[in-house]
Structure 1
Amino acid sequence: MTDSSRPGWATSRRGFLQRVGAVGGAGAALSAMGALGLVPSSASAATPPFRAPRASDFGLTGRGAGRVAVVGAGVAGLTAAYELDKAGYDVTVLDARPRIGGRSLTVRGGDTLTDLKGVTQHARFAPGQYFNAGPAMLPQWSVSTDYCRELGVPLEVFSISNTNTFVFDPNGPGRPRFQTAQADAYGVVAELLAKVTDQGGLDRQLTAADKERLLGFLKAMGDLGDDLAYREDPRRRGFAVNPGGAGSPGTPLPRRGSLDRVFSEQLLRHWYLDANFDMASTLLQPVGGMDRIVEALAERIGRGRIRCGVEVTAITDGPRGIRLTYRGVASGVLDVDYCIVTTPPLVAARIAGLPAEVTALLGGFMAEFPGKIGLEYRSRWWEDDFAIYGGLTSYGADGSLWYPSYDHHRERGVMVAYFERAETTVQGLPPARRSAEAVHRNVRVHGPKARTELASSLSVMWGLEPFVEGGWQAADTQNNGAVNTPRFRPLTDPSGRVFFAGDWLSNMLGWQHGSMVSARQAVEKLHARVLAA
């Protein structure tokens, strides 16, 4: 799913969609060293410039733009079709699913979803409420935001890291606010490092000037006193009763617990949600739902050029063109000059007629199976009772609870329960029991209103979504880097008339940005082939 449903992320981000976080202590140390100028900072790589095809490109060649079929009406497919349409190509988009968007799925009241097991759910969300079942956020640097500007899709802030949310360990006591847990961890780390430094433990690594700078930084970072002890100032940690008028200075929270509480595994999962460049604040979202992007693309392409409910079963690549065989709401063949396949690789591997080496590469991708459950509530009790506006509370090793970042102080709202490895928890359950598990988690964190105020729910298990069959599909377990190797050239630099695109062929797996830059790359290569033909 892209841009991300994934917070929980792996090293590639994968979003929640893989492990929410990094190691807090190491991260704090690296931050401190970076601030001291002792380690180099990494700059985010710029997206290579894209030269969109133009109708004028054909002026000196005497050629026409030709006909192109795009298989898949997800973000990659619609982006490719949109860019080709600008240059005058006759584009037809075919998608086996009944609606456009692929994993960019926004569910509203009245929608109906049927999974691979034949289980049907009817969304009963109130008017104006929606559930982004796939991508949830856009990095501000991404091509996705560029397309929103170009297409006129308005954006608003998506809050991922919120210090007022909870650090909840289902196997441990308490539920400190993230602000408190983070302040205690910074304070203890700073105190330990400051005392080691002051006692000469780093004299062989630091000059006297560096040592002085480090101690000054640690005092500020950890709120240390002159004795280098963590002071546990409530203005860092928060209050049990907030300060008020004269005579009401506020009631401090209980003092921090033992080190095993301070350095809890759950804090490590919650820490630094926005530390990596792909998740860095400020994150954004389209106003009114993530599907605003694909709907805007479809409008520009022309709805009449997009056929949903049509599964491509075979692609025959010949010296003069491509024949696609399809079935579904209609059956037949489509003859075109070129084709771009953007469906998930494990689904594309089932298309007959592709070269054996291509099919083998497609079939070698690995799917992961996150799930999301939209919980609509009759009141926004998380705002009223806990003063939480956006962000998330992590829950154990496999999930989190997301608070909506829009429509604050309105009557209703949709929270999201995210399951990173849904196949091991809720994917095999019927929808009602999935909802019950999500509500159970919510009640454990927030109390009974998480049950009594529930109005409706709907779950999307991406491993069970027809013609998607996974939240994302990776070439390897290390940032999808294998797609940069010569072994994948049959997909990234095909010799025939069939091209491929998707986040699975990018270095931003699971993000709409990855889908879009991969689509642009395929469009550039197809266009160059047409001009040179």
Structure 2
Amino acid sequence: MTDENKNEFTKRDFLTSMGLISGTAAMMTTLAGWNMAMASTMMAPPKLSTEGKGKKILILGAGLSGMVCAMELREKGYEVQIIEAKPTAGGRCMSARKGTVIEDVGGDRQVCDFENNQYLNVGPWRIPPTHHSTLYYCRKLGVALEPFINKSFEAYYYQSEGEGPLTGVPIRQREVDADRMGYVQELLAKCITGGTLEEKITTEDQEALLEYLRSTGLIDRKELDYHANVTRGWDRMPTVGTDMGKLADPFKLTELLKMKLGSREADSEHTPALFQPVGGMDQIARAMERAIPKKIFNFNCEIAEISQTDSDVTVSVVDTKSGKMKTFKGDYAISCLPFPLLNKIKTDFRQDVIDGLSAPASAPVVKLGLQFSERFWETQEDIYGGITVNDIDESGNISYPSSEMFSNKTGVLLTSYAHRGGAIKLGNRSSAERIERGLEIGELIHPGRFRKYFNGKGISMAWHKQKYQLAGWVQWSRRNIETKMPALMKGEKRVLFSGNGMAPNHQGWMFAAIESAWNSISDLDKRVAKD
């Protein structure tokens, strides 16, 4: 930067300031105004230019990516066969409900027994409005959606480790969020009146910013001090007549600075209001499966080997019911298998492809859901949807249901969404021990209620312990994306690669699987055109 423009307040400076003042969510709102937010850019499947008649495509895996490939290729006349090791389609797009069987590698077997047709989304659970490709298929296939309340100011922050009076007690998000914003506004306002920002923004803009800060209701208009306010809430609500109530006093700034929680969900994919399918996330997978003829699916076929020639590809499988071997032949194959699983299959892939498939790290992920006889979070704690954020590695989140509010039915809470070391620890427990751990954690945040209302029914999913998944997703480093991913994008002689692992910046999201499928069928279309 030259001396001539060293005091210019750039777009980057502004965004940085927005992030510091108002958090990532405000910064992302600004980005959206400049059309720079992280929205999915693909609105619909690619237009395929060639007719597929006479070409046979083997699709490995019946998850979302595989079924999207099948649906779109069939529309162009390709002959398609889906090969799937499990007896069901959907991959990670799965909801556990009464009768669902989950069996870990090692033999721990669970059968879900939730009452009232309730469920737990053990895989994906949220759809942001910017994930256009996911919404495209919901519209096309008639999957009904409903709001998913991602942020509730009545939910809690719970910090188990650290110092200060805010550690070890559940704190309403409303209180912490308002206090943080208020103190930052106070400091910023006093920086303006103290002349600190004179070299950053014009006098006119300083006056406008100061007026904005005064107008929020968080700081005193004259003294500019942060004070008790209606945004933060009340110790005692006003009633009727002359009862004015009592506003709640803020926490001290020094106490707030010791709390590290509070910003995990604040990005463009975790906005306060998202979507979910009515009746469970598996409704998307079921709708896709219904759109594909049954004869296309080959279930219970565990892939043993993939081999290619210059003109075709052969996939050898073991029938998991009979133990017999059989083969499928095609002109091309699209592998939609999780990379940790594909790495275990015998192939004749190039070394750079093998290196690419093994480059990302497998991510351990565990979800745990418990059912309660009473929706105490609604009736006794005023929490309707949203997520309590905590720093306990075997939990991380407690998510409250956005459906069936105000009902007299039971309710299912997602009590753990564990990653990394926490997922390994929780996953190493038996299913019964996971439930007990969930109750222990829940009692810290909802004391006297978790155990009281637990109806004895729970289900957990350790994705890294599922035989045909072996991870929740894979995690790429920036270096490996640059050096290893190109080989996978190029593909093999007769095998292309699809699935969530091919979208390293969107790990775990359904739209990543869908759009990787769109990319694969577009690539296939170009190859067929050259044949």
Normalization by structure 1: what TM-score?
A: 0.87
Q: What is the alpha-carbon distance in structure 2 between the residues aligned to residue 121 and residue 35 of structure 1?
A: 43
Q: What is the alpha-carbon distance in structure 2 between the residues aligned to residue 23 and residue 117 of structure 1?
A: 51
Q: What is the alpha-carbon distance in structure 1 between the residues aligned to residue 25 and residue 277 of structure 2?
A: 32
Q: What is the alpha-carbon distance in structure 2 between the residues aligned to residue 388 and residue 23 of structure 1?
A: 32
Shift of 1:482: 4.6
Q: RMSD of the alignment, in Å? A: 2.5
1:282-305 Cα distance to aligned partner (Å, 9 max, x none): 310000000001111111112332
Residue in structure 1 matched with residue 137 of structure 2 by the alignment: 147
Q: How many residues align?
A: 497
Matches within 5 A, 1:190-209: 190-209=185-204
SS at match of 1:64: coil
Q: What is the alpha-carbon distance in structure 2 between the residues aligned to residue 126 and residue 33 of structure 1?
A: 42
Q: What is the alpha-carbon distance in structure 2 between the residues aligned to residue 527 and residue 376 of structure 1?
A: 47
Shift of 1:259: 2.2
1:416-466 Cα distance to aligned partner (Å, 9 max, x none): 022223344311111111111111111111122211211210111111111
Residue in structure 1 matched with residue 431 of structure 2 by the alignment: 431
Q: Percent identity?
A: 26
- CA shift in 2, pair 1:33/1:210, >3 Å: farther
- CA shift in 2, pair 1:441/1:91, >3 Å: same
SS at match of 1:283: strand
Asked whether the 8 Å contact 1:106–1:130 carries over to 2, the reply is yes
Shift of 1:34: 9.2
Amino acid of the structure 1 residue aligned with 2:432: A
SS at match of 1:301: coil
Shift of 1:33: 8.5
Residue in structure 2 matched with residue 5 of structure 1 by the alignment: none
1:457 equivalent in alignment to 2:458: yes
Amino acid of the structure 1 residue aligned with 2:224: L
Q: What is the alpha-carbon distance in structure 2 between the residues aligned to residue 221 and residue 98 of structure 1?
A: 56
Query: Which residue among 329, 339, 351 is the counterpart of 2:321?
Result: 329
Shift of 1:497: 1.1
Residue in structure 2 matched with residue 250 of structure 1 by the alignment: 245
Q: What is the alpha-carbon distance in structure 2 between the residues aligned to residue 33 and residue 319 of structure 1?
A: 51
Residue in structure 2 matched with residue 471 of structure 1 by the alignment: 472
- CA shift in 2, pair 1:103/1:413, >3 Å: same
Shift of 1:245: 2.8
Query: Which residue among 227, 230, 234 is the counterpart of 2:226?
Result: 230
Shift of 1:397: 5.2
- CA shift in 2, pair 1:490/1:23, >3 Å: same
Query: Which residue among 340, 362, 380 is the counterpart of 2:357?
Result: 362
Query: Which residue among 501, 509, 523 is the counterpart of 1:504?
Result: 501
1:100-148 Cα distance to aligned partner (Å, 9 max, x none): 2111121001111111111101111013200100100111121101110
1:296 equivalent in alignment to 2:294: no
1:33-76 Cα distance to aligned partner (Å, 9 max, x none): 99999x9773345514655466x843xxxx72421111111111
Matches within 5 A, 1:233-382: 233=229, 235-253=230-248, 255-266=249-260, 269-271=261-263, 273=265, 275-327=266-318, 328-329=320-321, 331-355=325-349, 356-382=351-377
Amino acid of the structure 2 residue aligned with 1:420: H
1:405 equivalent in alignment to 2:395: no
Asked whether the 8 Å contact 1:378–1:453 carries over to 2, the reply is yes
Asked whether the 8 Å contact 1:34–1:40 carries over to 2, the reply is no
Asked whether the 8 Å contact 2:81–2:297 carries over to 1, the reply is yes
1:158 equivalent in alignment to 2:159: no
1:60-98 Cα distance to aligned partner (Å, 9 max, x none): xxx724211111111111111111122222211112223
Q: Which runs of 5+ in 2 are unaligned?
A: 1-15, 162-166
1:190-231 Cα distance to aligned partner (Å, 9 max, x none): 111111221111112121012112212222346111111112
- CA shift in 2, pair 1:220/1:174, >3 Å: farther
Shift of 1:243: 2.9
SS at match of 1:525: helix
Shift of 1:313: 1.4
1:184 equivalent in alignment to 2:176: no
Amino acid of the structure 1 residue aligned with 2:440: H
- CA shift in 2, pair 1:207/1:482, >3 Å: same
1:28 equivalent in alignment to 2:22: yes
Residue in structure 2 matched with residue 16 of structure 1 by the alignment: none
Asked whether the 8 Å contact 1:53–1:86 carries over to 2, the reply is no
Residue in structure 1 matched with residue 445 of structure 2 by the alignment: 445
Asked whether the 8 Å contact 1:443–1:449 carries over to 2, the reply is yes
Q: Answer with 284-293 or 438-447: which moved more.
A: 438-447
Amino acid of the structure 1 residue aligned with 2:498: A
Q: What is the alpha-carbon distance in structure 1 between the residues aligned to residue 287 and residue 67 of structure 2?
A: 10
Q: What is the alpha-carbon distance in structure 1 between the residues aligned to residue 467 and residue 29 of structure 2?
A: 48
Amino acid of the structure 2 residue aligned with 1:47: T
- CA shift in 2, pair 1:23/1:65, >3 Å: farther
1:468-503 Cα distance to aligned partner (Å, 9 max, x none): 111110221x5xx854x4642321122511010112
Asked whether the 8 Å contact 1:65–1:87 carries over to 2, the reply is no
Shift of 1:176: 2.1
Q: What is the alpha-carbon distance in structure 2 between the residues aligned to residue 424 and residue 111 of structure 1?
A: 23
- CA shift in 2, pair 1:436/1:368, >3 Å: same
Q: Which runs of 5+ in 1 are unaligned?
A: 1-21
- CA shift in 2, pair 1:389/1:311, >3 Å: same
Normalization by structure 2: what TM-score?
A: 0.88
Query: Which residue among 512, 515, 518 is the counterpart of 2:513?
Result: 515
Amino acid of the structure 1 residue aligned with 2:127: L
